[in-house]
């Protein structure tokens, strides 16, 4: 790895981004060689501000595009138009301007929501176009998947090195625990923690509990993204996951046990489950850049719970 490379990490102050920044610093890249644009300074939905960002950090070698407008099922249901527009514009302008500014490599970070609703398990990258995404998150998933189309088109026409990585659901310390926009694990962690502290006799959980998900610990995700950014230079998309599957029912039970919460779990089947199943084929990531998740699921959940106990959200 070139320790003197200059890297732009959009979303670098966010959940996954902060761990990726830590990883590059640990590998010896100087802090001044990492540029982390903040939304209050550069609104990446507007091309002129994307151009301004590239001018303010000249001679960058690489872009890792993590910035996104993202949330859980409720947030997706309430904001489909905003999620589609914001993520489509950010991806489109970032890729085009990175090419025009002579960036050597662009790492586009997509989403598992790009897969079809009824993708055979385990999800293989070749299945990405075999159907329409699950309805509650389709606008977000499709907007992010357009970065794959753009990256492959630019590789074909311009010979430009743009790669597309598909991380599964992430979790861990520093996650977004805001109940309005959080994903399933941080939402459940907060719900269970609050119920225990307030001695509530039960918690309510959306859906039936029968849907399944795969989860990747955030430090592992940062490691995988770092390896892809440094060692993967092909046009085919790559899954980034742990290769595991758990139902939401078992997830809730596991979190209650780890948190020592003994109240009742009440399911609300009037609320959507989301995609029926999620579990990735992660063989391409291991083959192409040697990534394999290391953190055990219960260990990762325990670290997340312990962190939240020290940093609760009102």
Q: Tens digits of per-residue pLDDT, 216-272? A: 999 999 999 999 999 999 999 999 999 999 999 999 999 999 999 999 999 999 999
> What's the whole-number mean pLDDT along residues 168-178?
96
Q: Is 192 helix (H, G, I), strand (E, B) or coil?
A: helix
Given a cut of 90, whether residue 121 has pLDDT beyond it is: yes
Instruction: Say which residue the tokens 């996951």 belong to.
Output: 241
Q: Residue 295 to residues 204, 214, 216, 223, 273: CA-CA distances in angstroms? A: 29, 13, 8, 11, 26
Identify the helix (H) or strand (E) that includes residue 217. Answer: strand 215-217
Report the candidate in 173, 204, 188, 197 with the shortest Cα–Cα distance to residue 269: 204
> What's the whole-number mean pLDDT along residues 108-123?
97
Q: What is the pLDDT of residue 180?
A: 86
Q: Residue 72 to residues 155, 179, 264, 281: CA-CA distances in angstroms? A: 32, 9, 23, 23
Given a cut of 90, whether residue 276 has pLDDT beyond it is: yes
Q: Predicted confidence band at 43 (pLDDT cuts at 50, 70, 90)?
A: very high
Q: Is 270 helix (H, G, I), strand (E, B) or coil?
A: coil
Q: What is the pLDDT of residue 102?
A: 98
Q: How far apart are CA 194 and CA 198, in angstroms?
A: 6
Q: Phi and psi (nearest 5°) for 165?
A: -115, 135
> What's the whole-number mean pLDDT along residues 143-170?
98
Identify the helix (H) or strand (E) that includes residue 162. Answer: strand 161-167
Identify the helix (H) or strand (E) that includes residue 147. Answer: helix 138-158
Q: How far apart are CA 140 and CA 144, in angstroms?
A: 6
Write the Ramachandran bin of 28: left for phi over 0, alpha for psi from -120 to 50, otherwise beta: left
Q: What is the pLDDT of residue 150?
A: 98
Instruction: Say which residue the tokens 């903040």 belong to.
Output: 38
Strand-pair category, 212-213 with 246-247: antiparallel
Q: Quick check: is 262 in a domain? A: no
* Core vs surface per residue 65-88: b (16+ CB within 10 A) or e: bbbbbbbbbbbbeebbeebbebbb
Q: Predicted confidence band at 113 (pLDDT cuts at 50, 70, 90)?
A: very high
Q: Provide the domain limits for residue 288.
A: 7-171+215-244+279-294
Task: State the catalytic residues.
Answer: 140
Q: Is 288 helix (H, G, I), strand (E, B) or coil?
A: helix
Q: Quick check: is 192 in a domain? A: no
Q: What is the CATH number of the domain that holds 230?
A: 3.40.50.720
Q: What is the pLDDT of residue 179?
A: 87
Q: What is the pLDDT of residue 198?
A: 96
Upper half-sphere CA count for residue 238 (Cβ side, 13 Å):
29
Q: Quick check: is 193 in a domain? A: no
Q: Quick check: is 270 in a domain? A: no
Q: Predicted confidence band at 178 (pLDDT cuts at 50, 70, 90)?
A: very high
Given a cut of 90, whether residue 187 has pLDDT beyond it is: yes
Q: Quick check: is 72 in a domain? A: yes
> What's the whole-number mean pLDDT along residues 63-82?
95
Q: How far apart are CA 168 and CA 170, in angstroms?
A: 6
Given a cut of 90, whether residue 99 has pLDDT beyond it is: yes
Average pLDDT, the chain: 97
> What's the whole-number mean pLDDT along residues 100-114?
97
CB-based contacts of 107: which residues, under 8 Å, 6+ apart?
62, 63, 64, 65, 162, 163, 165, 225, 228, 229
Count of structural domains within the chain: 1
Given a cut of 90, whether residue 3 has pLDDT beyond it is: yes
Q: Residue 66 to residues 36, 164, 219, 228: CA-CA distances in angstroms? A: 11, 11, 15, 14
Q: How far apart are CA 235 and CA 248, in angstroms?
A: 34
Q: Phi and psi (nearest 5°) for 217?
A: -65, 140
């Amino acid at each position: 790895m070139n320790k003197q490379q200059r890297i732009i990490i959009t979303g670098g102050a966010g959940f996954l981004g902060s761990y990726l920044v830590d990883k590059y610093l640990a590998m010896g890249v100087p802090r001044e060689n990492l540029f982390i644009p903040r939304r209050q300074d550069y609104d990446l939905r507007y091309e002129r501000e994307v151009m301004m960002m590239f001018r303010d950090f000249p001679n960058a070698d690489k872009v890792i595009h993590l910035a996104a407008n993202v949330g859980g099922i409720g947030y997706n249901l309430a904001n489909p138009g905003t999620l589609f527009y914001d993520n489509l514009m950010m991806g489109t302008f970032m890729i085009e301007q990175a090419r025009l500014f002579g960036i050597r490599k662009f790492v586009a970070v997509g989403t598992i929501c790009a897969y079809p609703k009824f993708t055979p398990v385990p999800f293989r990258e070749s299945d990405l176009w075999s159907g329409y995404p699950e309805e509650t998150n389709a606008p977000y998933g499709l907007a992010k998947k357009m970065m794959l189309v753009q990256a492959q088109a630019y590789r074909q026409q311009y010979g430009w090195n743009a790669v597309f990585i598909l991380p599964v659901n992430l979790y861990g310390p520093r996650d977004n625990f805001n109940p309005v926009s959080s994903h399933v694990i941080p939402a459940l962690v907060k719900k269970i923690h609050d119920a225990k502290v307030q001695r509530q006799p039960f918690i309510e959980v959306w859906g039936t509990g029968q849907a399944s998900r795969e989860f990747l610990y955030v430090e592992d995700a940062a490691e995988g993204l770092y390896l892809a950014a440094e060692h993967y230079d092909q046009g085919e998309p790559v899954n980034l996951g742990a290769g595991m599957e758990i139902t939401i029912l078992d997830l809730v039970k596991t979190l209650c046990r780890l948190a020592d919460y003994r109240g009742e779990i009440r399911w609300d089947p009037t609320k959507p489950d989301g995609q029926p199943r999620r579990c990735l084929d992660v063989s391409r990531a291991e083959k192409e850049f040697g990534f394999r998740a290391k953190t055990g699921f219960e260990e990762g959940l325990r670290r997340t719970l312990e962190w939240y106990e020290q940093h609760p959200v009102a």
